[in-house]
Chains A and B, each alone.
Chain A
Amino acid sequence: MLSKPTTQQVLLDCRRELLEVIDPAVSDPTVKIAIQMLENVLRNCAERSAHEIAWMRDESNLMVGYARDVKSSVGSTPEIDAALAAYDAGDNTSLDLDAVSDSYSRAGECLSVAIERVFAVGNTELHLRGRDILALRLANEDAIKGEWAFVGRG
């Protein structure tokens, strides 16, 4: 395959074409708003394409590691055992996007049930560690989002 230009570069060039060539030729206000939205979505996709596999893998490792630590330090629940078993039974090695996404979802469930256990036992240290993992997830989402507001509302 051709890896250069990267997907990110291709998408950003589509965005430039949209803004510099297509948008000036359009006068319909509803289409103008759709173009602003498309610009934003293309920017989101460019950022995602550059990082999403690495980000999901990194987060998955943290989420599953956290669930294992919760299990060993404050005791397991049937939900934690089931989530970890489902994670371990799946494909967590392939780098195809669908496989990484599926693995990420299973890891997310591990984090969710571990957090529920931490609330039930009231462990502040593990609570804060769980929040740190969510903060990383949010930082990655924010990087994809970039500047954003409801265009056309008002």
Chain B
Amino acid sequence: MIDPSVMPAKLAAFLSKHGGQSANVTAYEPMTGGYSRLMARASVTWADGRSEQLVLRGDPPPGKAMMETDRATEWALLSALGRAESIPMPKARYFDATGEELGTKCIVLDFVDGRSLQSHINECEPGNYGRHTFDLVDTMARVHSIDPNDVGDAIARPNDWSSYLSGLIDRFRQADRAHAESNPFLRYVAEWLDANKPAPLPLRIVHSDFQPANIMVGADGSHQVIDWELTHIGDPREDLGYYAVYSASSGPSLIMNDPLAFLARYREKTGFGEDTVNLATLGFFSSLAAISVYAQILAGAAAMSKGLNSGIMTTYTLNALTVGHANFMGGCIAPTI
């Protein structure tokens, strides 16, 4: 999917077959910035004279992925969110479900003309992020205001908050059991979280990799959210906690400047109360929320140790596991004697 010498012809044939008219691919280049999936951008001219740019998002070759997620699930989710017009996002246009046409299972999406929020805040003076902080909060709140019915049965729906949270906590133990060596961090955090559960919130759409590199900013400042591959229905505070820990290691962080103001804005936009969204629950979910991404990376490490996976992306992201351990422990407040 990243070979510019063969992809223009393959993509042109694919689009001509599924787009209802002949397509010509005039430019094709791999994109950087994506970690889990291969990305490329194509310039396309259709027979009716329209021109547009499209993004391809496909699976790496077998044994080369730092995490394994399902493109069919992602396609079903993106399609459902698009049909319901739940939130501004690039439209998912086409899907090669088998990889027979584009060389790998691949989703073709609209290209978003703009830069990521990450690139915008990278240019800000430290501590002075202008509208970006509340824009980020508002976009997160918008994700969490999506009606879970919008996605139909594209993703699993938990029965209730209590069993969902217990299952999420148990994923720490499952990750430990599945790994190639014992990992006491995971067992400690699971015990701590079980002993310190917060008050519940309604189950909502959780993006699961909510951070500024996954938010595209238009010329008018509007946001489009991308990269929904880990999205599930769960506790919306997972995204709050995930963003807090992600931005602590890959800043600048828009929450750490003034976490109380950040949380107050989030409460205002979601309607959630201070009994459920506060510094204590932020700490709890900072420990809990990264388990989805962490478990995927740990599985990649286990596969590598067994000779089933390879590649710089897997070895490089081993350090993210250490970041995870620090975040897990940071959110688990020590008892006092």
Contacts and interface: CB of A to CB of B under 8 A. Distances in A.
Interface of A: 29-30, 33-34, 37-38, 40-41, 44, 63, 101, 104-109, 111-113, 115-116, 119, 124-125, 127-128, 130-131, 133-135, 137-138, 141-142, 144-145, 148-154
Given A112-B176, A124-B336, A154-B213, A40 B184 contact: no
A138 B187 contact: no
Contacts of A40: 316, 319
Given A115-B188, A131-B334, 17 more contacts: A38-B312, A41-B312, A105-B181, A107-B182, A108-B181, A111-B184, A119-B191, A131-B188, A131-B329, A134-B184, A138-B322, A144-B319, A148-B323, A150-B250, A154-B33, A154-B116, A154-B212
A108 B184 contact: yes
Chain B: number of interface residues, binned into ranges: 35 or more
Given A34-B312, A152-B32, A128 B184 contact: no
29 contacts: A30-B32, A37-B312, A37-B313, A37-B316, A38-B312, A41-B312, A41-B316, A44-B319, A101-B181, A105-B181, A108-B184, A111-B184, A115-B187, A115-B188, A115-B191, A125-B337, A127-B334, A134-B329, A138-B185, A138-B322, A138-B329, A144-B322, A145-B322, A148-B249, A149-B249, A150-B35, A153-B213, A154-B116, A154-B212
B30 interface: yes
Nearest to B305: A101
Contacts of B320: 150
A22 to B, nearest CB: 14
A134 B316 contact: no
A63 B184 contact: yes
B182 A153 contact: no
Contacts of A112: 176, 182-184, 187-188
Given A141-B322, A142-B326, A41 B315 contact: yes
B118 A44 contact: no
B184 A154 contact: no
Contacts of B312: 34, 37-38, 41
B322 A130 contact: no
B188 A130 contact: yes
A71 to B, nearest CB: 16
B327 to A, nearest CB: 11
Contacts of B313: 37
Contacts of B335: 124, 127-128
B325 interface: yes
B118 A154 contact: yes
A129 to B, nearest CB: 11
Q: 8 closest Cβ contacts across the A-B interface?
A: A108-B182, A105-B181, A154-B118, A112-B187, A37-B316, A109-B182, A119-B191, A141-B322
Contacts of B325: 137-138, 141
A150 B313 CA distance: 11
B119 A154 contact: yes
Interface of B: 2, 30, 32-33, 35, 116, 118-119, 122, 176, 180-185, 187-188, 191-192, 194-195, 212-213, 249-250, 312-313, 315-316, 318-320, 322-323, 325-326, 329, 334-337
Q: Which of B192, B213, B316 has the most CB of A within 10 A?
A: B316
Contacts of B250: 149-150, 153
B33 A116 contact: no
Contacts of B191: 115-116, 119
Contacts of A37: 312-313, 315-316
Q: Which of B188, B318, B320 has the most CB of A within 10 A?
A: B188
A33 B182 CA distance: 32
Given A37-B316, A153-B35, A142 B187 contact: no
A63 B181 CA distance: 14
B337 A128 contact: yes
Contacts of B2: 30
A145 B337 CA distance: 33
B188 A134 contact: yes
